[in-house]
Chains A and B, each alone.
Chain A
Amino acid sequence: MFRRLHDAAGERVPFTVDGRAAEALAGDTVAAALLANGITVCRNTPVSGAPRSPYCMMGVCFDCLVTIDDVGNRQGCQVRVAPGMRIETQDGKREIDR
């Protein structure tokens, strides 16, 4: 679990994760916003189905893949949360049409 430092300041950004309302701090990446909201597991792998959480936070490991606004397999640590963004955790392989 992660917590925000007391003096960390900035605008609040509303978004949804798997349909539930949540809030990020302006500047958060999707991966950071999920961790800040207590969501550690962002996907299950397409190979064995094992759960994964972000590992590198710098775009190299691809463990932070999530569906963002209906587009699958996006690197959560490389995309900033925008107001109203719809984020979904992923289960295995992405679908062709989203």
Chain B
Amino acid sequence: MSDVKTSYDLAVIGAGPAGLAAATLAARQGISTVLLDEQPAPGGQIYRSVTETPVRDPKVLGPDYWHGAGLVKPFQESGADYLPGTTVWSVSRNLEIGLSREGAARILPAKHIILATGALERPFAVPGWTLPGVMGAGAAQVLLKSSGLVATGNVVLAGTGPLLWLLAWQYLRAGAEITAVLDTTPRANWRQAMPHMTGFVRSCYIGKGLKLLLDVRRKVKVIGNVTALRAEGDGQVRSVVYRQGNGAEQRLPAETLLLHQGVIPNLNLANAIGCAQSWDDAQRCWTPQTDGWGATTVEGVSLAGDGAGIGGALSAEHQGRLTALDALHRLGRIDRQQRDRDAAPHREALEKARQGRVFLDTLYKPAQDFRVPSDDTIVCRCEEVTAAQVRDAVKLGCSGPNQAKSFLRCGMGPCQGRLCGPTVTEVIADARGVSPAEVGYYRLRPPVKPITLAELASLPKREDEIDAVLHH
């Protein structure tokens, strides 16, 4: 694909379904478009390595995965530029993108920016989750998709949410063995989800979902109503200790423990740009605020896909197209009428893809005890800060995550709060007896991904910026 231009009408960040769909639609309309992504190949999380996976048997990853190939091909023919292996570490208010590629940083201006940065797995802080051998179910899925690797020995899956079951199913298809699935879905969730059943029944999820669940339950030992969980081992996980309901502690041997309790928006970039975000009580996460076209509170920056609130891969795709149409309109390429006309089928498809979402959100809402961990649990993996320390800080009058950060360093490590932010907010909210909305979230700053000091030093500087440092 062609070399990088010095500026673009539209820059799309993230090559998952949302970003691929957005970039394809926009570039076909003839505006100069670039798609940037950290990964070496297109696909995002769900379609990871779809163009090059070593997993030859299509039955292993399933038809939903291969749907991604149908997004990549039109993208490659759309005329959009594609920069894989490119990390975006900042976007300024005047729409200059700070990126890093092959060890060199540069600034790339655009007239409009679509963030399609997707989701990450919700932190699942339980005692022992930092032990080697414990990883996210999504991480195991990445290993399967891009390297054809599956865990061996005693493999335990624990948690809740569609992705956990999907991974179990894919593992079975691949001929891997699973010792047990520990299901942490709270019993009460079923009752709360029932009223939303009709939407689910009409959705595309039900047929696939039920079949998948039955398949897994037929072949794997599933232990339900798990209310407490921890990993044990010395320098490596050896066993999983759990409790069913109010029952006694039980133990399973495990050399690999795969944890999952849903996904949440990957909002660091949006947060650092200054996009307002709000607390979503149904999905128990922070979500950047967007309008029906994905526009954020920052002029020229829109959001599409799971980064704007979890909706799944199909929703992401349709949202990507809607966001691109709005960008075309804002860039003066199409008028409002055309935007609205062209949007109609995508809106309809989006509505359809969203059906059943409320049911899933309600059913798979993680239990309080797994969002607000016990005292001895490490909540910040980077700085190794425990829940007890966060609670002690609250006792000293610390009222939110930013103050907690300066007291405890939680959120100050290289992951920049991605793996502790949601937990720290919930622990403080719980300790103060207020809502997470009131407690708030970390205020993030660029770079949202580390760059070297030399890269930073190499960037262009304006006269007044130099003066601010050298000649004051």
Query: Chain A: residues with CB nearer than 8 A to chain B?
Result: 1-10, 25, 27-29, 32-33, 35-36, 40-41, 45, 47-48, 50-63, 65, 73, 77-78, 80
Query: Chain B: residues with CB nearer than 8 A to chain A?
Result: 38, 40, 45, 49, 52, 54-57, 60, 120-121, 130-136, 138-140, 142-143, 146-153, 174-175, 235-236, 255-256, 266, 381-384, 413-415, 418-419, 449
Contact B147 A36 (CB under 8 A): yes
Closest Cβ neighbor of B259 among chain A residues: A55
Closest Cβ neighbor of A50 among chain B residues: B130
CB-defined contacts of A48 to chain B, threshold 8 Å = 384
Contact B174 A60 (CB under 8 A): no
Contact A27 B147 (CB under 8 A): yes
Contact A27 B49 (CB under 8 A): yes
CB-defined contacts of B413 to chain A, threshold 8 Å = 62
Contact B147 A55 (CB under 8 A): no
Complex-state Cα separation, A41 to B152, whole angstroms = 16
Contact A56 B120 (CB under 8 A): yes
Contact A45 B384 (CB under 8 A): yes
Given contacts A55-B134, A57-B139, A59-B38, contact A9 B45 (CB under 8 A): no
Closest Cβ neighbor of B452 among chain A residues: A71
CB-defined contacts of A35 to chain B, threshold 8 Å = 143, 149
Complex-state Cα separation, A2 to B49, whole angstroms = 19
Query: Dominant SS at the A interface?
Result: loop
A2 CB contact (under 8 Å) in B134, B149, B381, B384:
B149
Query: Dominant SS at the B interface?
Result: loop
Contact A56 B136 (CB under 8 A): yes
Complex-state Cα separation, A28 to B49, whole angstroms = 11
Contact A53 B38 (CB under 8 A): no
Contact A78 B149 (CB under 8 A): no
CB-defined contacts of A50 to chain B, threshold 8 Å = 130, 384
Query: Given contacts A2-B150, A25-B147, A28-B146, could you give 17 more A-B pairs where the C-beta distance is less than 8 Å?
Result: A1-B152, A2-B143, A4-B149, A5-B54, A5-B60, A7-B148, A8-B147, A27-B49, A27-B52, A27-B146, A51-B132, A52-B132, A53-B132, A55-B135, A56-B135, A58-B120, A62-B414
Q: How far is the CB of B58 from chain A (nearest CB, A)?
A: 11
Contact A56 B236 (CB under 8 A): no
Contact B133 A53 (CB under 8 A): yes
Q: How far is the CB of B156 from chain A (nearest CB, A)?
A: 14
21 interchain pairs, CB-CB under 8 A:
A1-B256, A3-B149, A5-B174, A5-B175, A8-B56, A10-B54, A25-B54, A25-B147, A27-B146, A32-B146, A33-B147, A41-B132, A41-B236, A50-B384, A52-B130, A53-B135, A54-B139, A57-B140, A59-B449, A63-B130, A78-B38
Contact A36 B149 (CB under 8 A): yes
Given contacts A3-B150, A35-B143, A55-B134, contact A8 B55 (CB under 8 A): yes
Complex-state Cα separation, A15 to B56, whole angstroms = 25
Contact A32 B415 (CB under 8 A): no
Contact A40 B133 (CB under 8 A): yes
Closest Cβ neighbor of B118 among chain A residues: A58
CB-defined contacts of A77 to chain B, threshold 8 Å = 142
Contact B55 A56 (CB under 8 A): no
CB-defined contacts of A5 to chain B, threshold 8 Å = 54-55, 60, 148-150, 174-175
A57 CB contact (under 8 Å) in B52, B143, B150:
B143
CB-defined contacts of A52 to chain B, threshold 8 Å = 130, 132
Q: How far is the CB of B101 from chain A (nearest CB, A)?
A: 12
Contact B255 A1 (CB under 8 A): yes
Complex-state Cα separation, A4 to B152, whole angstroms = 10
Q: How far is the CB of B426 from chain A (nearest CB, A)?
A: 18
B120 CB contact (under 8 Å) in A2, A6, A47, A60:
A60
Most buried by B among A35, A41, A52, A57: A57
Complex-state Cα separation, A69 to B38, whole angstroms = 20
A1 CB contact (under 8 Å) in B120, B136, B153, B449:
B153
CB-defined contacts of A4 to chain B, threshold 8 Å = 147-149
Contact A62 B382 (CB under 8 A): yes
A29 CB contact (under 8 Å) in B55, B60, B146, B381:
B146
Contact A7 B57 (CB under 8 A): yes
Complex-state Cα separation, A15 to B236, whole angstroms = 25
Q: How far is the CB of A60 from chain B (nearest CB, A)?
A: 5
Contact B236 A40 (CB under 8 A): yes
Contact B120 A8 (CB under 8 A): no
Closest Cβ neighbor of B119 among chain A residues: A58
Closest Cβ neighbor of A24 among chain B residues: B147
A32 CB contact (under 8 Å) in B60, B121, B143, B449:
B143
Complex-state Cα separation, A78 to B37, whole angstroms = 11
- Considering the complex of A and B, which 6 residue pairs feature the smallest CB-CB distances, nearest first? A8-B148, A57-B139, A53-B132, A57-B142, A62-B414, A8-B54
Complex-state Cα separation, A1 to B143, whole angstroms = 12
Contact A1 B132 (CB under 8 A): no
CB-defined contacts of B266 to chain A, threshold 8 Å = 60
Q: How far is the CB of A79 from chain B (nearest CB, A)?
A: 9
CB-defined contacts of A41 to chain B, threshold 8 Å = 132, 235-236
Q: How far is the CB of B422 from chain A (nearest CB, A)?
A: 12
Given contacts A2-B151, A25-B54, contact A57 B255 (CB under 8 A): no
